[in-house]
Amino acid sequence: MSTTVLSIQHLSKSYGALQALSDVSFEVPKGSIYGVLGPNGSGKTTMLGIITDVLRPDSGQYTLLNSPDHEQARKKTGTLLETPNFYPYLSAYKNLEISALIKGVSTMEIDPVLERVGLLARKNSKFSTFSLGMKQRLAIGAALLGNPELLILDEPTNGLDPNGIAEIRNLIKGLAVEGRTVVMASHLLDEVEKVCTHVAIIKNGKLLTSGSVGEVLASEDVIALRSVDLKKLSDILPGIAGFSKLEWQNEQILLHADLGRSSLEAINQYCFENGVILTHLALQRASLEARFLEITH
Ligand SMILES: Nc1ncnc2c1ncn2[C@@H]1O[C@H](COP(=O)(O)OP(=O)(O)OP(=O)(O)O)[C@@H](O)[C@H]1O
């Protein structure tokens, strides 16, 4: 049975007349990488601010690590809300020493953490000599001090080059393999699909959908079909089990359907039995971008 690490219940928050978050609820299972996905300004940072006690909600609440005591649970949580102000002229090690001091964590943890984020060999280099990707890895290292069960990261790959992005994504996946739970905000559907196991999609402060990435992003299959008689094909397709809708393209029809309730063979047979010979039949899952646009527009 999966345990819930973070439970968000009916959170609302407004800034004056602007409703930044509106009755948002979802549950984060232990060991998941939970993406909070939404376009800029959708309320992601506001939500992460609330669950890290930087902001107060107008209403609603959250439960962290099943503890009634936020203060206690916070000790087992690592956060990275914005790139921290490391000292540019101090080494990676010295910077983490300051972070450890602030967190009340033993300096014995610093080397293992530097190793974990791939910076041990550069522990004595000045922060100012680091690439953006290395700076971000050091920031995640700081969040890892205290061996947290849960990490909360706001747009952890923002502004990085493709190499840096790949490093951070691999690092995040590795954290979950170690049994930690990660909650991360992202405005990139592709990133959520590549990194996350679960997703909550928010738009204008409202939760549109949440669940496992498989459930949320691929709840519908798209199948491309061609035939000499497209008109007849379009007439018969609505009779297929799991049918959702049709889309006309130049020389083919895209069938949106739930293949859990049908199969390509069954579609082929159905068409044949209804007098349509298919010249092409292929599964063409909705591009995730299209799915995201569909969800958020
Ligand atoms: N302190 C504030 N005062 C007034 N409005 C704010 C404040 N903070 C955020 N907002 C507004 O609340 C809405 C949600 O902002 P938020 O930063 O939570 O969204 P976001 O999804 O994290 O966006 P981004 O990715 O651009 O940071 C936006 O319209 C933003 O302009």
Tell me how far the alpha carbon of residue 207 lies from the centroid of ligand 1, in angstroms: 15
Tell me how far the alpha carbon of residue 187 lies from the centroid of ligand 1, in angstroms: 13
Residues 170 and 123 reside in one and the same domain: yes
Q: Is 79 helix (H, G, I), strand (E, B) or coil?
A: strand
45 lines ligand 1 (CB under 6 A): yes
Tell me how far the alpha carbon of residue 106 lies from the centroid of ligand 1, in angstroms: 36
pLDDT tens digits for range 167-183: 999 999 999 999 999 99
Q: What is the pLDDT of residue 76?
A: 92
49 lines ligand 1 (CB under 6 A): no
Residues 203 and 232 reside in one and the same domain: no
Better pLDDT: 214 or 210: 210
Q: Is 8 helix (H, G, I), strand (E, B) or coil?
A: strand
- Quick check: ipTM above 0.85? yes
Better pLDDT: 185 or 208: 185
Tell me how far the alpha carbon of residue 282 lies from the centroid of ligand 1, in angstroms: 42
In percent, the amount of the chain with pLDDT more than 90 equals 67
Residues 212 and 232 reside in one and the same domain: no
Q: What is the pLDDT of residue 1?
A: 47
The domain boundary residue, chosen from 183, 217, 251: 217
Kindly state the tokens that stand for 208. Answer: 């549109």
In percent, the amount of the chain with pLDDT more than 70 equals 93
Residues 207 and 226 reside in one and the same domain: no
Sequence-distant (6+) residues with CB within 8 A of 112 are none
d(CA 24, CA 113): 34
Question: Closest ligand 1 atom, CA of 49?
Answer: 18
Answer yes or no: is pLDDT of 225 > 80: yes
Mean pLDDT of the chain: 90
The domain boundary residue, chosen from 152, 183, 217: 217
Q: What is the pLDDT of residue 165?
A: 92
256 lines ligand 1 (CB under 6 A): no
Sequence-distant (6+) residues with CB within 8 A of 127 are 86, 87, 88, 89, 90, 91, 92, 95, 135, 138
d(CA 140, CA 137): 5
CATH code for the domain of 211: 3.40.50.300
Residues 16 and 62 reside in one and the same domain: yes
CATH code for the domain of 288: 3.30.70.100
Residues 96 and 179 reside in one and the same domain: yes
Residue 235 belongs to what domain range? 221-296
43 lines ligand 1 (CB under 6 A): yes
How many domains is the chain partitioned into structurally?
2
- Identify the residue whose C-alpha is closest to ligand 1 atom 3: 15
Mark 114-124 as b/e (b = at least 16 C-beta within 10 Å).
Answer: bebbebeebbe
186 lines ligand 1 (CB under 6 A): no
Kindly state the tokens that stand for 239. Answer: 């009779």
Give the pLDDT mean for 203-209. Answer: 91
Give the pLDDT mean for 265-277. Answer: 94
- Identify the residue whose C-alpha is closest to ligand 1 atom 29: 41
pLDDT tens digits for range 237-265: 999 988 888 999 889 999 988 776 667 88
Residues 182 and 233 reside in one and the same domain: no
Contact yes or no for 207/200 (Cβ under 8 A): yes
Sequence-distant (6+) residues with CB within 8 A of 65 are 5, 6, 73, 76, 77, 149, 150
Res. 219 pLDDT band, cuts 50 70 90: low
Tell me how far the alpha carbon of residue 70 lies from the centroid of ligand 1, in angstroms: 24
Q: What is the pLDDT of residue 218?
A: 65
Residues 37 and 174 reside in one and the same domain: yes
Question: Closest ligand 1 atom, CA of 47?
Answer: 18
Residues 173 and 238 reside in one and the same domain: no
Percent of the chain that is helix, strand, coil (3-state, to 5): 40, 30, 30
Lowest-pLDDT range, 51-65, 80-94, 201-215, 253-267?
253-267
Residues 141 and 247 reside in one and the same domain: no
Q: Residue 58 phi/psi, 5° resolution?
A: -75, -35
Pairing of β 198-203 and β 33-37: parallel
Res. 216 pLDDT band, cuts 50 70 90: confident
Tell me how far the alpha carbon of residue 37 lies from the centroid of ligand 1, in angstroms: 14
Residues 58 and 132 reside in one and the same domain: yes
46 lines ligand 1 (CB under 6 A): yes
**What would you report as the CA-atom Rg of the chain, rounded to the nearest whole angstrom?**
24
pTM over 0.90: no
Q: What is the pLDDT of residue 257?
A: 85
The domain boundary residue, chosen from 217, 249, 284: 217
Residues 132 and 247 reside in one and the same domain: no
Answer yes or no: is pLDDT of 34 > 50: yes
